[in-house]
Amino acid sequence: MSPTYGLVPDPAPEEGLLEPEATLTEQEMAYLAEVGEIYDPGLGELSRERLADDGERDLEDGRELLADRAELFDELTGETEDTTVDDIVERVAGALARRGAPALEAELQAPGSQKWTICFTAADVARAVRVYEENVDAAASDPSDQHIDRCSCIVMLNVGLGQLLNLRTRDHPARGFQRGMPHRPRRVQMGVLTTETIELAMAQLVRAGRATGPLRIDFTDRRGRRAGTLPPVALASSVLAAVTARSPDAGCWYAFGLSLMDGFHSVLLLVDHTGAKPRIYWLDQFTRGMSREVTTTLDDEITTFTQTSWRHVLDTKGKRFSTPIRLWHLRKRA
């Protein structure tokens, strides 16, 4: 049975989240420079001129794609995403792909880098778990045919990150208001991160020193080649193995941001390695705290979700989504 946490004292949130606090590698700086061409975390708004100059996708096409993703996720899970922002998923995905596999894990253990740690405490985890429990409790009052007070996936992730990483928070609606809702969604205290995509939210954390990565793991097609936008058959390598390898020391909790189907869904993974063997938990807007353990099933659940979502998109919209998985290692001040 998964643990349930009660209230714990909340430490004062740290100031200056968006100020660069880490010594970044050349790879990391290149990644952030790519993302920075279209998004300025300090300003919190799109640089539309630069995006237009890219010539890869105009803003109207971006809005349409984001609306399609929102509608599809709603059909699959009952979720409703905010469709008032421009979609830049494809541009970010390209930047991540060009960046290549990260080589940042050794940096966490390097001499002189005691400023950061990937080891979280039970109190850190308790704060995050509490808000996931509160989200499910709030959703109990939602009508049976729609979600109102349940957070969308990216908002819920940012709420959880705000607590886990002790970030400054801001008041934010749990989800976008849609016509037909009997009342406006509840307000939540969310970490000061963008809600446009998990890729951009994590880029803000990387810039601030609070995360490393991403590690990209693709799906393969029936020929055993990288699937791209073809039907996903199997993971090219194990996400479970990657998470386990990055959670090495007993006595710690570890945390990861997980992007599924090219940012289609956002998940927080918590790893309890306070015992002899690590136990892995999947947290999103539908889980009550740590009620979903994926210690042995993580790869299978990712595969099932991706295949189902990809097929649904094709059947209902005639579109083929890209299916990479991205994993970020979270860290806090030592």
Per-residue tens of pLDDT for the chain, all 334 residues: 445 444 444 555 665 555 444 555 555 555 555 444 333 333 233 222 222 222 233 233 333 444 445 555 555 555 443 332 233 334 433 443 343 333 333 433 344 445 899 999 999 999 999 999 999 999 998 888 888 889 999 999 999 999 999 999 999 999 988 888 888 999 999 999 999 999 999 999 999 999 999 999 999 999 999 999 999 999 999 999 999 999 998 999 999 999 999 999 999 999 999 998 999 999 999 999 899 999 999 999 999 999 999 999 899 889 899 999 999 999 998 8
Contacts of 126 (CB under 8 A, 6+ apart): 5, 6, 8
Q: Do you know the residue count of the chain? A: 334
Q: How far is CA 9 from CA 94, 123, 166, 167, in A?
A: 42, 8, 12, 15
pLDDT tens, residue by residue, 48-60:
222 222 223 323 3
As beta bridge partners, residue 201 has none
Please give the full DSSP string across 290-334, using - where no structure is assigned.
Answer: S--B-TTTHHHHHHHHHHHHHHHHHHHH-------EEEEEE-EE-
Expressed in angstroms, the distance from the first to the final Cα of the chain is 30
Q: Please state, in angstroms and rounded to a whole number, the distance separating the CA atoms of residues 283 and 126.
A: 13
pTM of the model: 0.74
3-class secondary structure, 67? helix
Instruction: Report which residue type is found at 186.
Output: R
